[in-house]
Amino acid sequence: MKEYFVLTKLDNTLVFNYRTLLDDETVFINKNNYYKDSLYYDLKYFKKHIKDITGVLSSGGFTSIKILRLVTFKYPIEVMKKLSIETLVLEFDSTLSLTDYNQLLELNTLKHIYCFYMPKEIKNEFSKRGCEVVFSSDIKISDRFLMQQDAFEIDTLYYKKVIKINEEYPGVMDDLREFLKLNYNLKAIHIYTYSKSLIEAIVKQVKNDESKNVIIYLHQGYDKGDFIVSNFEWLKKISNECKESYTCEFRIIYANSFLSSNLFKQLTFNNLKLASILCIYVCVVSLIIVKSYDYIEEINVEQMRNRILSDASSFIDTSDDELDELGEEESVYIPEVSEDGMEDANKLTEKEITDRYTFTPSIKGLKKINKEVQGYLIVKNTKISYPVLKHSDNNYYLKHDIYKRKTSIGALFFDYRNNVKKMDDNTIIYGHSMLNGTMFGTLRKVTNSSWRKEEDNLVISLTTEKGTMSFKIFSVYKVDYTTDYLKVKFSSNKDKEKFINMIRKRSMFKNDTKVGVNDKILTLSTCTGGNNRRLVVHAVLLKEEKGGKQ
């Protein structure tokens, strides 16, 4: 049924809603007259006559706006501008786009916002303008889901265009439900695990969320039990339901090996039938058959391929090689699926590695290569002697090196939340543990007691534009994926003391190095060869050498 804008007076608050109308309300559509303290408009009229509508509202003395349901944020913002609104209450459990937030930032009269969620950097911008932002509830998403999305914190999920479901675990749908509330950019969901209940739940959640143009990909190459083949008709039904709702598309991505194998079987079967027909009619139409054979064979090849690829019409249409054309986000890692243009750094020769990744520790010189260089890290008696970069997110340098070349080697990089010039309570550096020993590939040496016996090895050097700092390692451990050690700042000394005790307790070796709540901590984080484990090194600032500016 058709829905309308309903604007209701509630003391000094104007309540925005978008809903179907009762029979007695329909008489007052687009009348600019209050009925039961409400005005009623269709979207087309509201858009065309917004100046007249704000004129009617201007006499209401409104200082706040409450929005119950949102179809578009453009028109409420226009009303807020005209009425000089001070308080905005968003009573729906979802976020807004960056465009909407930026428009709100232009409202100088706004003093309070009550909403479900907004990214920290946007919230900070409102704070600078004297506008308080209060969240209506806590976002609860598991570390397991964050790990699958290569996200280091909740804020990263807001910007994700592509996510992946690698496993079905208790709470996976709760995580997806929370993710859809705070994300505004989702374009694709890639599924690598198989069960009817999971697939139905994912499709239902996307439809209920009123998400638009989301493509759900099911990867046949990971189907070890022939789930797709066994449930082909059911998957076809799911695809048709998606099309009818206009909320999502459902597609299967076939592995090239599957396509080749099944195409060959189909061609062989049809060629045998064709050969039988040719034998029967060879005496009569041999000349015609010979001249037409190539043409017939070409048609049969195409028909057999279509039989495989188009039995489910448009929801089976591609192979792994075409992922990039289907909305696969550049900064999202899909295990074992090659990405176009991605260089496998483990196949580089030693000379190539030496030529590319041997550097002079000069911040000024390295900035000529890449302006995002903010530091230089050295860990003694390892191969770790690299520039450290910083991007606007924690994804880019997972797959790009200092030269911005797309490569699996990546680069060492600071957490985007860190202020490198001021040095936060906990400064975090990430990097891949490469098999060829590059980046954090030799950080594992810190786990050897023989390496730690050399006291000098425990001192890490970090140079920034501010100078050169020395940090002493006091905790080393391996841990299942978690974000509890990735805190940059602490709200109180008690919280920091609790953090220090936690990371000390995890350490695989004990030492007498003193670490207090006023000390600066350096954290190095890398993988340990498996997706669920991390090698973590914590070091405390010992001294800052004056005149070390590069």
Query: In this predicted model, what pLDDT tens digit does every residue of 173-188 receive, in sequence order?
Result: 999 988 988 887 888 8
pLDDT at residue 332, as a whole number? 28
d(CA 377, CA 239): 51
Which amino acid would we find at residue 187?
Answer: K
d(CA 221, CA 320): 8
Which amino acid would we find at residue 501?
Answer: N
pLDDT at residue 289, as a whole number? 53
In the sheet with 248-254, reading across from the earlier edge strand, the strands are 162-165, 188-191, 214-219, 248-254, 316-319
Q: List the chain domain ranges.
A: 4-135, 138-340, 345-545
Closest-CA residue to 402 (of 437, 366, 365)? 366
- Which one-letter DSSP state was computed for residue 484? T
In the sheet with 13-19, reading across from the earlier edge strand, the strands are 38-41, 4-10, 13-19, 64-67, 87-90, 112-115, 132-135
d(CA 170, CA 193): 14
d(CA 97, CA 159): 10
Closest-CA residue to 110 (of 77, 83, 88, 78)? 88
pLDDT at residue 250, as a whole number? 79
| Alpha helices (H) along 183-251 | 196-208, 227-230, 232-245
The phi and psi torsions of 177 (rounded to 5 degrees) equal -60, -45
- Which one-letter DSSP state was computed for residue 448? -
The CATH H-level (homologous superfamily) assignment of domain 345-545 is Sortase (2.40.260.10)
Tokens read off for 346: 């483990």
pLDDT at residue 547, as a whole number? 43
pLDDT at residue 539, as a whole number? 96
pLDDT at residue 259, as a whole number? 59
List the chain pLDDT tens, one digit each, 550 residues.
788 999 999 999 999 999 999 999 999 999 999 999 999 999 899 989 998 999 999 988 999 999 998 767 788 888 998 899 999 999 888 888 888 888 888 888 999 999 988 888 888 889 988 999 998 877 888 888 888 888 777 888 888 888 899 888 889 999 998 898 888 788 889 998 888 888 888 888 887 776 667 888 888 777 777 787 788 888 888 888 777 765 677 788 877 666 565 544 444 445 555 666 666 766 565 555 545 555 444 444 444 434 433 443 334 334 333 333 333 333 222 333 333 456 666 677 888 888 888 888 889 989 989 999 999 999 999 999 999 999 988 888 988 999 888 888 899 999 999 999 889 999 999 999 888 889 999 999 999 988 998 889 999 999 999 899 999 999 999 988 788 899 999 989 999 999 999 999 999 988 889 999 999 999 999 987 655 688 999 999 996 544 444 4
pLDDT at residue 431, as a whole number? 93
Q: Is 105 helix (H, G, I), strand (E, B) or coil?
A: helix
Q: Is 289 helix (H, G, I), strand (E, B) or coil?
A: helix
